């Protein structure tokens, strides 16, 4: 009902505006007035607000409505796509289902504490699963930001989320996050990867010996690779180190309509004539205006990695440097329009899903998992690499653990793997690149020569 109609029961003019909220749900907003003109004015004001904010502005919105407004007005511009998706997931899956219907002006710290208790309760995540502490923490901090914005916009006088009780976090990360391979397993994984010799194998070794995140390794460019960076002496032997500067990461971006404001009725087409954003001829990528991106193929882009205050140059031990030299030479005649270090024979980027599949095969070949576990993970409904704490991310933890065992100082390890978490870095010391190389030199001393066979680029 997008135009005022007389409601004889209430003896008022009434109109209902349905609209699509920024998070894709259907919103419904009722306006009521004693005369038709006022009702129409209120309706038009609400339509304008939906176009501008994604939701009508009321004096006392529900938490759900104000959260939608925060996503559209604040998060869309300040958050990176990953951070935006995480914030939207907190809003949709934790905040709205628990306290979404509550009016924001009636929200008290005790309600926020109750929200946390509900989220922490066993089984909240469905299928008998319980949310992890970090998900609950993220929901709370998202609500905190939403309420901060509500304070700034003079909707509420102070922030109830800030005053709510926080469950004390265990100071150690959860066990799955801390899991690491033993150094023997790491060597077995490296050997299996070298035997494989293809793009996935070299990629796995690259990740294992640099600690790069998957997205950073998949987005690695030849321009950021230096094969002759530094020479250093370890145990009387001169070693030639390479260096990689982490300037890009591979990321899937989401598309959205670029043809104008959402239609009044979510079941109607947009201005371009389509409902699906994928078909909009003016479709744009949902990123903040300041976001730097290079399109590779479809939704795949190179974007800037997590900003790290502590440098982005990673020393490459001589064995890895030699392997990458062979790899670059073996693939130099393949098309490579984006200048990627790792790509398929036709120059297209490697996507995370294929890298994950290759990782599963590699840890099986390296006997980190046995046949039964491999079959269970491949089967439907069974354990996943994630649930077993065996994703490729484990090689990053393994490098941290190994460098620790080799008595490399924590501050230097943090800088090598570019931890963004302040707590894990030594705030007073900023190690020089030469110190990183010395730290990695200890790793070089325990890793055997790698380039046994020349790599086999895909056909």
Q: Which residues bind Zn ion (CB under 5 A)?
A: 257, 259, 270, 272, 280
Strand partners, 243: 226, 315
Residue nearest to Zn ion (CB): 280
Nearer to Zn ion, 269 or 374 (CB): 269
Nearer to Zn ion, 261 or 308 (CB): 261
Nearer to Zn ion, 187 or 259 (CB): 259
Residue 210's nearest CA partner among 29, 410, 403, 351 is: 403
Q: Are 13 and 7 in contact (CB under 8 A)?
A: yes
Nearer to Zn ion, 101 or 276 (CB): 276
Report how far residue 421's alpha carbon sits from residue 171's, in angstroms, rounded to the nearest whole number. Answer: 13
The kind and range of the H/E element at 142 are helix 133-152
Report how far residue 223's alpha carbon sits from residue 246's, in angstroms, rounded to the nearest whole number. Answer: 11
Nearer to Zn ion, 12 or 277 (CB): 277
The kind and range of the H/E element at 172 are none
Nearer to Zn ion, 19 or 270 (CB): 270
Nearer to Zn ion, 228 or 282 (CB): 282
Q: Are 436 and 410 in contact (CB under 8 A)?
A: no
In angstroms, what is the minimal distance from the CB of 51 to Zn ion? 14
In angstroms, what is the minimal distance from the CB of 261 to Zn ion? 10
Q: For 55-74, give one letter per residue: b (16+ CB within 10 A) or e.
A: bbbbeebbbbbbbbbbbbbb
In angstroms, what is the minimal distance from the CB of 96 to Zn ion? 26
CB burial of residue 225 (10 Å; 0-12, 13-18, 19+)? buried
The kind and range of the H/E element at 57 are none
Q: For 145-155, give one letter per residue: b (16+ CB within 10 A) or e.
A: bbbbbbeeeeb
CA dihedral 27, 30, 31, 35 (to 10 degrees): 140
Nearer to Zn ion, 256 or 361 (CB): 256
Nearer to Zn ion, 262 or 315 (CB): 262
Q: Are 131 and 80 in contact (CB under 8 A)?
A: no
Nearer to Zn ion, 259 or 433 (CB): 259
Kindly report the length of the chain.
459
| 121 alpha-carbon distance from chain centroid | 25
CB burial of residue 90 (10 Å; 0-12, 13-18, 19+)? buried
CA distances from 295 to 334, 338, 450 (A): 20, 9, 34
In angstroms, what is the minimal distance from the CB of 450 to Zn ion? 51
Q: For 39-51, give one letter per residue: b (16+ CB within 10 A) or e.
A: bbebbeebbebbe
Nearer to Zn ion, 70 or 270 (CB): 270
Nearer to Zn ion, 272 or 330 (CB): 272
In angstroms, what is the minimal distance from the CB of 253 to Zn ion? 17
Residue 254's nearest CA partner among 297, 287, 218, 293 is: 287
> What's the distance, Cα to Cα, between the start and end of the chain in Å?
60
In angstroms, what is the minimal distance from the CB of 285 to Zn ion? 14
φ, ψ dihedrals at 239, nearest 5°:
-115, 145
In angstroms, what is the minimal distance from the CB of 116 to Zn ion? 39
In angstroms, what is the minimal distance from the CB of 262 to Zn ion? 10
In angstroms, what is the minimal distance from the CB of 255 to Zn ion? 10
In angstroms, what is the minimal distance from the CB of 280 to Zn ion? 3
In angstroms, what is the minimal distance from the CB of 269 to Zn ion? 8
CA 234, 240, 244 angle in degrees (round to 5)? 115
In angstroms, what is the minimal distance from the CB of 137 to Zn ion? 37
């Amino acid at each position: 009902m997008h135009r005022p109609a007389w409601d004889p029961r209430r003896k008022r003019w009434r109109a209902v505006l349905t609209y699509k909220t920024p998070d894709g749900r259907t919103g419904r907003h009722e306006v009521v007035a004693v005369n038709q003109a006022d009702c129409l004015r209120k309706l038009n004001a609400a339509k304008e607000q939906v176009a501008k904010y994604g939701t009508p502005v009321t004096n006392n919105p529900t938490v759900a409505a104000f959260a939608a407004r925060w996503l559209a007005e604040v998060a869309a511009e300040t958050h990176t796509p990953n951070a935006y998706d995480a914030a939207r997931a907190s809003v949709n899956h934790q905040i709205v289902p628990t306290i979404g219907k509550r009016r924001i002006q009636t929200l008290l710290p005790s309600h926020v504490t109750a929200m946390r208790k509900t989220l922490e309760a066993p089984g909240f995540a469905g299928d008998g699963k319980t949310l992890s502490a970090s998900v609950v923490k993220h929901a709370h901090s998202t609500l905190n930001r939403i309420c901060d914005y509500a304070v700034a916009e003079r909707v509420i006088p102070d922030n109830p989320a800030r005053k709510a009780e926080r469950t004390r976090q265990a100071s150690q990360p959860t066990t799955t996050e801390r899991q690491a391979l033993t150094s023997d397993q790491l060597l077995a994984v490296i050997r299996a990867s070298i035997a494989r010799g293809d793009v996935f194998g070299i990629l796995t070794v690259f990740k294992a010996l640099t600690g790069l995140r998957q997205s950073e390794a998949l987005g690695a460019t030849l321009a950021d690779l230096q094969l002759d960076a530094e020479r250093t002496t370890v145990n009387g032997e001169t070693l030639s180190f390479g260096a990689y500067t982490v300037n890009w990461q591979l990321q899937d971006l989401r598309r959205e309509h670029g043809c104008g404001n959402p239609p009044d009725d979510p079941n109607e087409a947009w201005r371009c004539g389509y409902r699906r954003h994928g078909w909009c001829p003016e479709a744009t990528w949902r990123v903040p205006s300041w976001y730097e991106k290079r399109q590779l193929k479809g939704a795949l882009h190179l974007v800037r990695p997590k900003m790290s205050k502590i440098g982005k140059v990673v020393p490459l031990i001589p064995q890895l440097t030699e392997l990458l030299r062979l790899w670059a030479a073996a693939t130099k005649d393949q098309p490579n329009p984006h200048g990627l270090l790792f790509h398929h024979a036709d120059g297209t980027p490697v996507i995370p899903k294929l890298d994950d599949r290759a990782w599963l095969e590699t840890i099986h070949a390296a006997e980190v998992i046995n046949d039964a576990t491999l079959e269970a993970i491949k089967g439907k409904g069974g354990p996943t690499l994630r649930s077993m704490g065996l994703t490729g991310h484990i090689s990053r933890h393994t490098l941290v653990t190994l460098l620790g065992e080799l008595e490399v100082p924590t501050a230097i390890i943090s800088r090598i793997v570019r931890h963004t978490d302040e707590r894990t870095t030594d705030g007073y010391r900023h190690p020089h690149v030469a110190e990183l190389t010395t730290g990695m030199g200890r790793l070089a001393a325990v890793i055997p020569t790698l380039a046994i066979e020349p790599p086999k680029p895909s056909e």
